[in-house]
Amino acid sequence: MTAPGLLLPGSTLGILGAGQLGRMLAMAARRLGYRVGVFSPEPDAPAAAAADFAVVASYDDAAAVSAFAARVDVVTFEFENVPSSVAETAGQRVPVRPAGRVLHTTQQRLREKAHLRATGLPVADFVPVDDAQALVRGVAALGLPCVLKTAGFGYDGKGQRRLDADDPQTLAHAFEGLQGGPGVLEAWVPFERELSVVAARGLDGAFAAYPVFENRHRHHVLDVTLAPAEIPGPVADAAVALARRVLESLDVVGLLCVELFQLPGGRLLINEVAPRTHNSGHLTLDASVTSQFEQQVRAVCGLPLGSTDTRPAAMVNLLGDLWADGEPDWRAALAMPGVHLHLYGKREARPGRKMGHLTVVGGSVADAAQRAVEARARLTAR
């Protein structure tokens, strides 16, 4: 007997969004025997080349979204900046996993933080900012420094500003940076490490998490990920337990990443939640029994979740800056044993744009990190 909601290979997976995450998700799905369709407003998006078919249309085009959903058996999304109304429209025809309500909650910081706090999950103190006076009151309540963020459509440090002064001119300028949208003011967190837990939850409620990753950023963009994070066992267990509570509280069917701050003494605070595959999980393509992308496919199609066993590894991002003086020297990097190159098929390299990544699997985290950083340096060592 076929389990309710199960979609076997040969079914068609629909992906909202067609960037690099969608590309790697499509490649994993096709390897498992699924057909793949992608929907995106962007022509020549990276995932289109890896899909069986691509629809180029605005997310506001409800008729196009409905027609797309009619061609697939289940819909998921590759990033959370897809309007939740799109998931609702698609959901009138086929299952959407994770559900549109998950997207609605996690794509807006105020809704996300309010949900986490109401669930009893640890987050930094925060206040909503909907006018200039709310910002003044919030700074007085939280103290300095603090961080002002746009409530929606922020990633890789975009839409964020640290406040170190409370003079009227500084606060007025910061409020203008919200560009008329709502904001959230957060207390400054003196963290020791930034961590992430990538985890999945199946149709049957089964849960599987990868080892906790440590993430190091440069200019607010993820630069290096280490797996596993070199943290005490109880801290790692607590991080995975928090991720499980997040997935269960949102009733997620699919894959999700919980970003965390580790404070002195090992206390953890949830920073953000991403209801999708995550940049920090890219190393699972080479280091884990089941990649995060295959795991998402398994979860949304109702298959058993795969093993998350992961060898010591490091991942370094490749940004468009590496192309400043011409094509990077791929031969120099790939001459190093154990270096895995993943490029995303983007036509134009721009400063700060994520173009690909390198992964190294090693005998230890330190060894893998050293070789990954060295391999990236070789790309431009002319």
Q: Which residues contact 113 (CB under 8 A, 6 or more apart)?
A: 123, 126, 184
Question: In the structure encoding, which two tokens stand for residue 58, read together?
Answer: 């605005």
Which pLDDT belongs to residue 157? 59
Predicted local distance difference test score (pLDDT) of residue 4: 77
Domain 125-187 sits in CATH at: 3.30.1490.20
**Looking at the domain that runs over 12-96, which CATH code has it been given?**
3.40.50.20
How much of the chain is helix, strand and coil, in % rounded to 5? 35, 30, 40
Is residue 26 within 8 Å of residue 47, measured between CB atoms? yes
Options 3.30.470.20, 3.60.21.10, 1.10.1060.10, 3.90.79.10; CATH of 193-378: 3.30.470.20
CA angle (183 as vertex; 109, 91 as ends), nearest 5? 40
- Residues facing residue 112 across a β-bridge: none
Residue range 306-340, pLDDT digits in tens: 999 999 999 999 999 999 999 999 999 999 999 99
Tell me the pLDDT tens digit for each residue of 92-122: 999 999 999 999 999 999 999 999 999 999 9
Mean per-residue pLDDT, 364-370: 97
- Give the C-alpha separation, 146 to 139, whole Å: 7
Q: What percent of the chain has pLDDT over 70?
A: 98
What type of residue sits at position 234?
P
Given this model, what pLDDT does residue 125 score? 97
Residue 272 has a pLDDT of: 95
User: Across the chain, what does the average pLDDT equal?
Assistant: 95
- Taking the domains of the chain in order of start, what are their residue ranges? 12-96, 125-187, 193-378
Q: Tens digits of per-residue pLDDT, 153-203?
A: 666 656 789 999 989 999 999 999 898 889 999 999 999 999 999 999 999
Helix (H) or strand (E) holding 318: strand 313-319
Q: Which pTM value belongs to this model?
A: 0.95
Task: Examine the pLDDT at 382 and tell me if it is beyond 80.
Answer: no
